[in-house]
Structure 1
Amino acid sequence: MRSKGTAAELEARRRLAVLRVSEGWTRAEVAAFLGVHRETVGEWVRAHAAGGQKALAPKPHPGRTPFLTADQEKRVLGWLTESPTKHGFRTDLWTAKQVAELIRTKFGVAFHPNYLREWLTKRNHTPQKPARRAKQRNPEAIAAWLKQDWPRIKKRSGGRTPTSS
């Protein structure tokens, strides 16, 4: 399993281990100091002896290269804090299809909407649906009804709400 840390941090740790061993520290002391196994320190020392400083350099990232750079990912996540209408869409609800379309037009990268849903979920963006409200809803009329009519209706029912018995 790969240790936690950036490639540069892990390389610095390997170089420090080799340096400490060359200064006279035992492999067990270096391992305890760095929080690794004694045999790991031995592997680093042997690699350095065989290939020099170049042998301690980080290895290429395994697997497929990500479709978006870290900067592009930040920009995409920033878009999600804005309204979709600002980006030319008709509704105020982001969909995976809209995000995929925006990524394609801005960065030239094609994501399948199903994959994009998974990608967004891993970054703590889950599907959102707005509260359903009637188009005819009138907040002023509701407030007036609650102030004037509801107390009269409640008084007639003896203080009981419709759900109480």
Structure 2
Amino acid sequence: MDAAERFEHGESNAVIASELRVARRSVERWRRAWREAGVEGLRSAGPASLPKLDPSQVAALERELDMGPRAHGWEDQRWTLVRVKAVIRRRFGVTYSIHGVWDLLRRAGWSCRQPARRAVERDEDAVRGWVRETWPSGQAPRRRSTRGSSSRTRPGCR
């Protein structure tokens, strides 16, 4: 709508594009729409396409995801975007891009690398034991600084 006021004042496309921080081609397209239909021609027509899944299908997808990856044929309990994409394709016959799957999940309240809900079968005692006993054994041992090592020879590191 700022562009419409500037068109009325006769400002050039280059000046409008610079001040509104948009491409000059966008301003040209806006000016053409403004000439043809006035300010009404600049109003948004809404999203370019309708969502591929309606709200009831998104709810059904969440129920499918709540069943876990094993229920859909995967060995482990990790949901990845590729796996969710496959479930959507199989269940609803709709193809999403990986980015589209991520947007869909984010809108539904899911987060990256962190489950939105805690696993029902989670055993807190087993997790604490694993963190205390198994995890440290997988870490590389700390290197000790020895005579002549870089940590001792750099100036200012005494």
Assess same fold via TM > 0.5: no
Q: TM-score range by the shorter chain?
A: 0.3 to 0.5
Bigger relative contact order, structure 1 or 2 (CA pairs below 8 A, ≥6 apart): 1
TM-score normalized by structure 2? 0.41
Q: Which has the larger radius of gyration?
A: 1
TM-score, reference length from structure 1: 0.39
